[in-house]
């Protein structure tokens, strides 16, 4: 499969001759295939935004190579089929949503009925097709700006969409709408490159992920592989009496209680079923029985604490 | 070129919606309108007074517009991060700079033409006083065009500096260059042993003479007063030199900006 985004040994040091260089990103190698939803995660200052700015030619690498849709990023044509939503986007606030989309669409050579149709579709998609589309952007809330930002990123019907913290600062409904848009883009076969520190979001949406810390890659791979099921089973129950708890302790590898909830970890399936039976027989209620699973958040915290691989 | 013109159009639209620009324009129109009153204070030299005040106001307000619009053109885009989104499109640094510059010049040029139009109207209303002056209106038209060209040169210097400096520094620098540019012709006389013995000092003055724009060349009040027709060949030569100077400045600005990280 062709690469949508490819970097090799991408390195960016900030600083001058008089100051010690600061690592923006170091030796980053990415190969994002067409149609993938790729997540770049890391704590603040880990190099996510630096990577995006390098890919878009806003800043220049200290060393390394980058291509977007097979073209060197220094070639402006590499951005013809690319959409970008920056973190905390700023737009010309004297324009309204219609004018903004018309302006950005014009940069891609869109005009007339085609541009109007595309603007209408996008504003409809981001829930801004009402009278607010004719209000000046300076009157918009943060959520509205973010939604218009998503619309402008898609004005050229891009093959690759780069999103920097797309749900940051949005209320739960707004964040959900943006997530739905990302799912829709994925379903339409678009390549989505998502920078975020919202790990639940990344886990739900992305196929592959790179975890950055202090500019360095600390983990890379398919989300499915990273969050593969852990060992053992988790049984959760409520209202378990002391006698039942005692019996469960003998079966479980570990047990935690609190707020009326009992969480027991069993090494195999038979023991997990036995624990569930104990809960029922002792007047309790089985809340769940599942394979133990490491979330991306577990992996993230583990790798960030552990440093580089 | 499509992208450059699209950016220029957007820049004009943005500038026209700025309140301070509208206030300057309104104020300048009032002042130019009032220039006919000033002429009454100089009996026998009404035309000179009218030209000094009317064209002086156009020059002053045009200069304010050129400096402030030019100084804020690039730094504001970078500081407010609107440049992020713009340059993430298939827009080169050259498109960006040239489009913004042309838009800014169109804005300043339109305003200079409006002010010039008001001034010509004021002159026309006082036609009884100046009917004996030959070539008045054609000369005035040339004067306004040359003023617009002067603003083009000033704007190009301002935009060039703004690609590497803050808007405050750029504004101060531009004002300095503007005033220095109005006395730069005298530098040629200063670069003589009569004034400076040191060859180094004379050399530096000569360099300044060559580098600084010669804004006096755009001032044609004398021939208007005398009534000499302004020759198109001379006017076009001055405009050509202005365009060349502005072209060099914008190319320099592009060289700086293409190396700048945003």
A23 and A118 co-located in one domain: yes
Q: Are residues B10 and A108, on separate chains, in Cβ contact within 8 Å? A: no
Evaluate whether residue A41 is within a structural domain.
yes
Distance between CA atoms of residues B4 and B11, nearest Å: 10
Average pLDDT, chain B: 90
Evaluate whether residue A130 is within a structural domain.
yes
pLDDT digits (tens, 9 = 90+) for A220-264: 999 888 877 677 888 999 888 888 888 898 899 889 888 788 989
Evaluate whether residue A40 is within a structural domain.
yes
Lowest pLDDT segment from A77-86, B30-39, B65-74, B195-204: B30-39
What count of Cα atoms within 13 Å lies in the side-chain half-sphere of residue B26?
A: 7
Evaluate whether residue A305 is within a structural domain.
no
Evaluate whether residue A99 is within a structural domain.
yes
A218 and A245 co-located in one domain: no
Q: Are residues A92 and B82, on separate chains, in Cβ contact within 8 Å? A: yes
pLDDT digits (tens, 9 = 90+) for B225-245: 888 888 888 899 999 999 999
Q: Is A160 on the interface with B (CB under 8 A)?
A: no
Q: Residue B19 is part of which domain span?
A: 2-258
A178 and A258 co-located in one domain: no
* Predicted local confidence at residue A307, as pLDDT: 56
A44 and A182 co-located in one domain: yes
Distance between CA atoms of residues A34 and A55, nearest Å: 16
Choose from A170-179, B154-163, B198-207 the range with maximum mean pLDDT. Answer: B154-163
Q: Which of B6, B83, B90 sits opposite A80 (nearest CB)?
A: B90
Distance between CA atoms of residues A173 and A176, nearest Å: 5
Q: Give the residue from B150, B185, B124 showing the smallest Cα distance to B58.
A: B150
Q: B254 pLDDT exceeds 80?
A: yes
Number of A to B CB contacts under 8 A, please give it. 66
* Predicted local confidence at residue A133, as pLDDT: 93
Closest residue in chain A to residue B261, using alpha carbons only: A59
A254 and A108 co-located in one domain: no
Q: Is A103 on the interface with B (CB under 8 A)?
A: yes
Give the bridge partners for A30, in sequence order: A7
How many structural domains does chain A have? 2
* Predicted local confidence at residue A309, as pLDDT: 45
Q: Are residues B6 and A91, on separate chains, in Cβ contact within 8 Å? A: no
Q: What is the percent of chain B where pLDDT is above 90? A: 57
A222 and A233 co-located in one domain: no
Q: B93 pLDDT exceeds 60?
A: yes
A125 and A148 co-located in one domain: yes
Q: Residue A8 is part of which domain span?
A: 3-226
Residue of A58, A62, A80 to mutate, testing the B interface (most B Cβ within 10 Å of its Cβ) = A58
Q: Give the residue from B248, B60, B68, B259 showing the smallest Cα distance to B160.
A: B248
What is the complex's ipTM, to 2 decimals? 0.83
A185 and A142 co-located in one domain: yes
* Predicted local confidence at residue A308, as pLDDT: 46
Min Cα distance A201 → chain B (Å) is 24
* Predicted local confidence at residue B126, as pLDDT: 79
Q: Are residues A91 and B85, on separate chains, in Cβ contact within 8 Å? A: yes
In sequence order, the 6+-apart residues with CB closer than 8 A to the CB of B9 are B103
Q: Give the residue from A93, A89, A75 showing the smallest Cα distance to A136.
A: A93
Evaluate whether residue A298 is within a structural domain.
no
Q: Are residues A76 and B261, on separate chains, in Cβ contact within 8 Å? A: no
Min Cα distance A187 → chain B (Å) is 24
What count of Cα atoms within 13 Å lies in the side-chain half-sphere of residue A219?
A: 23
The region, left, alpha or beta by phi > 0 then psi within -120 to 50, assigned to residue B42 is: beta
C-beta neighbour count of A23 within 10 angstroms = 18
Q: What is the 3-state secondary structure (H, E, C) of chain B?
A: CHHHHHHHHHHHHHHHCCHHHHHHHHHHHHHHHHHHHHHCCCCCCHHHHHHHHHHHHHHHHHHHHHHHHHHHHHHHHHHCCHHHHHHCCCCCHHHHHHHHHHHHHHHHHHHHHHHHHHHHHHHHHCHHHHCCCCCHHHHHHHHHHHHHHHHHHHHHHHHHHHCCCCHHHHHHHHHHHHHHHHCHHHHHHHCCCCCCCCHHHHHHHHHHHHHCCCHHHHCCHHHHHHCCCCCHHHHHHHHHHHHHHHHHHHHHHHHHHHCCCC
Does the predicted model carry a pTM greater than 0.90? Answer: no
Q: Are residues A76 and B91, on separate chains, in Cβ contact within 8 Å? A: yes
pLDDT digits (tens, 9 = 90+) for A134-179: 999 999 988 889 999 999 999 999 999 999 999 887 888 888 888 8
A87 and A25 co-located in one domain: yes
Q: B133 pLDDT exceeds 80?
A: no
Q: Which of A58, A77, A92 sits opposite B87 (nearest CB)?
A: A58
A45 and A93 co-located in one domain: yes
pLDDT tens track, chain A, 309 positions: 799 999 999 999 998 777 788 999 999 999 999 999 999 998 888 999 999 999 999 999 999 999 999 999 999 999 999 999 998 878 998 899 999 999 999 999 998 999 999 999 999 988 888 899 999 999 998 888 999 999 999 999 999 999 999 988 788 888 888 888 888 898 888 999 999 888 888 888 899 999 998 899 988 999 888 877 677 888 999 888 888 888 898 899 889 888 788 989 998 889 999 999 989 888 889 999 988 877 888 888 877 776 544
Query: CB–CB of B115/B62 below 8 Å?
Result: yes
* CA A30 to the chain's CA centroid: 16
A144 and A248 co-located in one domain: no
- What is the mean predicted confidence (pLDDT) over B116-140? 83
Q: Could you tell me the CA-to-CA distances from A40 to A43, A44, A198, A201, A274 in Å, in that order?
A: 10, 12, 10, 12, 42
Distance between CA atoms of residues A41 and A161, nearest Å: 16
How many structural domains does chain B have? 1
Closest residue in chain A to residue B14, using alpha carbons only: A94
In sequence order, the 6+-apart residues with CB closer than 8 A to the CB of B258 are B93, B94
Q: Which two tokens stand for residue A72?
A: 């060197």
Q: B172 pLDDT exceeds 80?
A: yes
B159 vs A307, which has greater pLDDT? Answer: B159
- What is the mean predicted confidence (pLDDT) over B23-39? 85
Evaluate whether residue A300 is within a structural domain.
no
Token pair 């003589």 is at which residue? B192
Distance between CA atoms of residues A172 and A37, nearest Å: 22
Evaluate whether residue A164 is within a structural domain.
yes
Q: Are residues A94 and B17, on separate chains, in Cβ contact within 8 Å? A: yes
A83 and A173 co-located in one domain: yes
Q: Are residues B6 and A103, on separate chains, in Cβ contact within 8 Å? A: yes
């Amino acid at each position: 499969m062709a690469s949508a985004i490819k970097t090799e040994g991408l390195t960016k040091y900030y600083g001058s001759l008089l100051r010690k260089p600061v690592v923006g990103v170091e030796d980053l190698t990415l190969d994002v295939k067409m149609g993938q939803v790729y997540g770049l995660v890391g704590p603040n200052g880990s190099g996510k935004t630096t990577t995006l700015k390098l890919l878009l030619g806003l800043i220049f690498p200290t060393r390394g190579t980058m291509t977007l849709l097979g073209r060197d990023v220094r070639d402006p044509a590499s951005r013809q089929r690319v959409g970008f939503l920056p973190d905390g986007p700023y737009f010309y606030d004297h324009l309204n949503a219609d004018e903004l989309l018309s302006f950005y669409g014009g940069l891609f050579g869109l005009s007339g009925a085609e541009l109007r149709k595309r603007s209408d579709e996008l504003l409809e998609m981001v829930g801004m097709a009402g009278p607010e589309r004719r209000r000046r952007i300076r009157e918009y809330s943060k959520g509205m700006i973010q939604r218009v930002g998503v619309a402008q990123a898609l004005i050229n019907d891009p093959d690759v969409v780069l999103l920097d913290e797309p749900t940051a600062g949005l209320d739960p409904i707004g964040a959900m709408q943006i997530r739905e848009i990302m799912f829709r883009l994925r379903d339409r076969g678009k390549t989505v490159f998502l920078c975020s520190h919202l790990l639940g979001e990344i886990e739900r949406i992305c196929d592959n992920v790179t975890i950055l810390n202090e500019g360095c890659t600390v983990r890379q791979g398919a989300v499915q592989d990273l969050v593969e099921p852990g060992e053992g089973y988790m049984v959760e129950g409520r209202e378990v009496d002391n006698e039942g708890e005692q019996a469960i302790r003998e079966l479980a590898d570990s047990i935690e209680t609190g707020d009326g909830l009992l969480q027991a970890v069993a090494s195999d399936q038979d023991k997990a079923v036995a624990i569930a039976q104990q809960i029922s027989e002792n007047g309790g209620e089985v809340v769940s029985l599942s394979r133990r699973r490491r979330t991306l958040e577990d992996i993230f915290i583990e790798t960030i604490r552990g440093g580089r691989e | 070129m499509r992208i450059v013109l699209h950016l220029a159009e957007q820049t004009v639209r943005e500038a026209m919606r700025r309140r301070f620009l509208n206030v300057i324009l309104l104020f300048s129109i009032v002042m130019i309108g009032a220039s006919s009153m000033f002429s009454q204070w100089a009996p026998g030299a009404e035309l000179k007074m009218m030209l000094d005040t009317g064209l002086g106001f156009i020059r002053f307000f045009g200069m304010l517009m050129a400096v402030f619009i030019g100084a804020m053109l690039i730094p504001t885009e970078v500081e407010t991060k609107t440049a992020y989104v713009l340059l993430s499109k298939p827009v080169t640094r050259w498109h960006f700079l040239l489009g913004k510059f042309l838009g800014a010049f169109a804005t300043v040029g339109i305003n200079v033409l409006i002010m010039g139009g008001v001034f010509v109207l004021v002159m026309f209303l006082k036609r009884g006083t100046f009917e004996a002056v030959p070539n008045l209106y054609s000369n005035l038209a040339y004067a306004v065009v040359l003023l617009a060209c002067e603003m083009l040169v000033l704007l190009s210097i301002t935009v060039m500096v703004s690609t590497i400096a803050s808007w405050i520094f750029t504004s101060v620098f531009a004002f300095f260059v503007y005033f220095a540019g109005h006395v730069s012709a005298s530098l040629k006389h200063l670069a003589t042993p009569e004034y400076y013995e040191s060859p180094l000092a004379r050399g530096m003055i000569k360099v300044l003479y060559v580098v600084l724009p010669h804004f006096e060349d755009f001032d044609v009040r004398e021939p208007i007063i005398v009534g000499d027709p302004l020759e198109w060949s001379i006017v076009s030569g001055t405009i050509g030199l202005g365009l060349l100077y502005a072209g060099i400045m914008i190319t320099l600005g592009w060289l700086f900006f293409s190396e700048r990280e945003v």
